[in-house]
Amino acid sequence: MTTRMLIFAAAALLLFGAFKENNLAASYITIIGAVIVYLLHAIEVKLNKLLDHHNISVLDADIARD
């Protein structure tokens, strides 16, 4: 199962729970949160492709320094 499908499935499950409880705020939060997570995932994929194209590798130690 791809990450996009997991994001969609989690959002659908949370949205179902929000509708079942008649919680409009939770519905909005679920929709907006799913869109944000999906966009962050798309940015990550594009960044990884760009780094791979230019043969740039980033070590975990480099990330931990920040």
Can you give the pLDDT at residue 66?
A: 60
- Of the ranges 2-11, 23-32, 52-61, which one carries the lowest mean pLDDT score? 52-61
Least Cα distance to 18 among 6, 29, 7 occurs for 29
Residues 6+ apart with CB under 8 A from 65: none
DSSP characters for 23-58? -HHHHHHHHHHHHHHHHHHHHHHHHHHHHHHTT---
Give residue 1's pLDDT band: very low, low, confident or very high (50, 70, 90): confident
pLDDT tens per residue, range 25-38? 999 999 999 999 99
With tokens 């939770």, the residue in question is: 26
DSSP-derived letter for residue 1 is -
Look over the chain and give the mean of its residue pLDDT values, rounded to a whole number. Answer: 94
Segment 8-26 shows an average pLDDT of: 97
Domain ranges of the chain: 3-64
pTM: 0.82
